[in-house]
């Protein structure tokens, strides 16, 4: 993946230096903008911004970047000839990631860029919506436990009729339900005293938790009770009273969908029950599907690797 880096500089000094540094790699794309073009540059949301303070000396431009909603978290490197401690503290106080003094530290620039980009890549493995670990960490956590022959339970979460909710209320409201679901899962899993619990966000409306088997059922019950007690606040009064959503299909025919509920598929893992994490995932899909066939929020437990024990809360 090509990383796009914007240089804010009223000269070509910095862009020429960067192109020389990265002449043997095609992984980076550099664009130079003067201060008059800053507003235009910010519309494109680069991976990283580098500012030559020697030609862009007014701190208002740093403040402008940090005030821009889309670039609030875009990393910034300031290159400057100024060495006064007070000035460096002032600049760093604007939430600038790095301040490099040209005549002393410019040789570190390429390392700093590479490290920031690596950190960005690592952080993007975490769900930006919920802050929970993503697929890479989830798979690593499962693999570690299987290899160590640990006993545990995997909870697979899925929101029922979530697409219908998005169709009626929009994706921004949908994101709010996802954040609420994540917080509900985290809060209940952390109530358990085990220090070995893990929570991840696979993506969309799919979450996962790894917990002690002894606590799994109580955790499921707590999550569903809290979810059902609060989810109606994300619906209008009329929809909540009706108990369903009306959504036109592609043919223009209005269909009725039950309000959003939560399904949990639980896979109990013991000894050598599973050869690898793919097998756990396959059984997880089965138990989650079984839970989704139950009206309302429910959980289904796989207790012996291939058979189900259905436990529903309606």
For residues 185 and 43, membership in a common domain is answered with: no
Residue ending a domain, choose from 123, 149, 170: 123
SS3 67: helix
Give me the residues paired with residue 76 across strands. Answer: 49
pLDDT at 272: 76
Q: How far, in whole angstroms, is CA 35 from its chain's centroid?
A: 33
198 and 292 Cβ atoms separated by less than 8 Å: no
Residue 188 lies in a domain: yes
Residue 130 lies in a domain: no
For the cut 80, the answer to whether the pLDDT of residue 26 exceeds it is no
Residue ending a domain, choose from 100, 123, 146: 123
What residues make up the domain containing 13? 3-123
For residues 76 and 145, membership in a common domain is answered with: no
For the cut 80, the answer to whether the pLDDT of residue 243 exceeds it is yes
Residue range 122-135: mean pLDDT, rounded: 83
- Give the C-alpha distances (Å, rounded to integers) separating 93 from 89, 90, 97, 99: 6, 5, 10, 11
pLDDT at 1: 63
For residues 153 and 265, membership in a common domain is answered with: yes
For the cut 70, the answer to whether the pLDDT of residue 100 exceeds it is yes
For the cut 60, the answer to whether the pLDDT of residue 306 exceeds it is no
The answer to whether the pTM exceeds 0.75 is no
């Amino acid at each position: 993946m090509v990383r796009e880096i914007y240089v804010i500089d009223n000269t070509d000094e910095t862009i020429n230096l960067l192109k020389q540094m990265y002449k043997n790699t095609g992984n980076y794309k550099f664009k130079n903008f003067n201060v008059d073009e800053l507003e235009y540059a910010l519309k494109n949301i680069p991976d990283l911004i580098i500012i030559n303070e020697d030609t862009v000396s007014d701190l208002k431009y740093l403040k402008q970047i940090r005030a821009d909603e889309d670039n609030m978290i875009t990393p910034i490197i300031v290159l400057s000839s100024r060495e006064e401690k007070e000035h460096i503290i002032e600049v760093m106080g604007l939430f600038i990631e790095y301040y490099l003094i040209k005549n002393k530290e410019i040789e570190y620039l390429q390392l700093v860029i590479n490290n920031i980009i690596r950190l960005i890549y690592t952080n993007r493995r975490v769900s930006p919506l919920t802050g929970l670990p993503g697929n890479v960490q989830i798979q690593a956590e499962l693999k570690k436990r299987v290899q160590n022959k640990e006993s545990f339970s995997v909870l697979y979460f899925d929101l029922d009729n979530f697409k219908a909710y998005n169709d009626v209320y929009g994706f921004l409201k949908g994101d709010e339900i996802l954040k609420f679901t994540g917080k509900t899962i985290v809060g209940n899993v952390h109530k358990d005293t085990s220090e070995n619990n893990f929570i991840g966000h696979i993506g969309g409306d799919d979450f996962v938790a790894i917990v002690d088997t002894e606590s799994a059922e109580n955790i499921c019950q707590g999550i569903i009770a809290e979810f059902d007690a609060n989810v109606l606040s994300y619906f209008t009064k009329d929809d909540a009273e009706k108990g369903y959503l009306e959504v036109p299909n592609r043919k223009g025919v209005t269909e009725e969908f039950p309000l959003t509920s939560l399904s949990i598929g639980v896979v109990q893992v013991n000894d050598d029950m599973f050869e690898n994490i793919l097998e756990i995932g396959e059984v997880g899909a089965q138990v989650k599907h079984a839970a989704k066939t139950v009206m309302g929020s429910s959980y289904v437990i796989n207790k012996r690797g291939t058979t189900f024990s259905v436990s529903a809360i309606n």
